[in-house]
Amino acid sequence: MTITNIKFFISKSKSKHPKKLKIFHPVNEFFDIEEIKENLSNICINLKKLRFKFNPKNNKEKKTFIILNSFNKKSFSAKDIIIPSTSNLKIVNLKEHLFNKISQKINLKVLIKIENNENYFYNPIKRINFILEKNNNIGKYIILDLNSDININPFKAFIESLKYLNLNNT
Domain positions in the chain: 2-115, 125-165
Summarize pLDDT for 9-56 with one digit per residue, the tens.
Answer: 988 766 555 566 678 888 888 878 888 898 899 999 899 888 887 765
Look up the pTM and report it.
Answer: 0.67
Low-confidence stretches of the chain (pLDDT beneath 50): 168, 170
Closest CA relative to residue 75, chosen from 50, 99, 110: 99
Radius of gyration of the chain (CA): 21
3-state helix, strand, coil in the chain (%, to 5): 15, 40, 45
CATH 2.170.120.12 fits 2-115, yes or no: yes
